[in-house]
Structure 1
Amino acid sequence: MPDTLRATYGRIRRARLRLPEDKSNEHVDNDEGVDGEPVSTSAKLQCIVLATRFSVAFAAAALAMTLVAVLLTGQLKANAQWLATLAFVLAWAAAYAGIFQGKEDWRRGACIKAARWWATIFVPVAVINLIFAAAGYAAT
């Protein structure tokens, strides 16, 4: 079991969210194809892989925060749920901008999209929740 954990930890440490510093391996083949045209691997492949790693990491963090929130009570539980929601939104935004759209600047696009979703969906819900909480507190 410890060898399995050590191997898993090693794989997690090797996963990175930045492009490698050594750009000698560009993942582009200049071999000639059937028609004599150059065949190349998609230049967007590295961005898609990085966005996938980012999405999986944030989705896993969100799941972990959700499990922690189940064990908590009161305001700590609410805070953990909001953080888990933010992590899920960031994971989806990265998947949308980096994987589905294949944008080169997927990090910026993911942050903008997450901020837009957060501002238009979750902030109004939080404000309405605060109004109901204040109304309930005033009634007692």
Structure 2
Amino acid sequence: MAFADRLKDFREKEKLSQADFAKMIGISTRTLVHYEDGERYPRDVEVYKKIAKVMNCDYNYLLEESDEFLNRVYNVGGKRELEKARALTEGLSSLFAGGEISDEDKDAAFEAITRAYWEAKRENKKYGRKKKD
């Protein structure tokens, strides 16, 4: 279950309005709507901790691996990059989940994706900004 689903599921089980739940967390109703729609993620771990306290759970429960990745993308690149990353992860999940594509074709697709990643990384290193240690 994704972060958005966990929030909405908890709120509905507790019979809380979005306004009441947002107030308990210390965020605006609009922000909560964005979280529940999966359009945004909290930028600060403290928000996750506040949500976890209200939900009486560990804040790590709120995140799946893909949510953590999407959260990092959103924090670095904003909504546009989040949408690109979400489309990519959903597309790849569909591709590798099964269906009509043979294992050999899946392997070839994975190799092509991996090559593209390393090529982009080399190009970014050559022309991009330097990372700080």
TM above 0.5, yes or no, is no
What TM-score, normalized by structure 1, do the two folds share? Answer: 0.28
Could you say which structure has the larger radius of gyration? Answer: 1
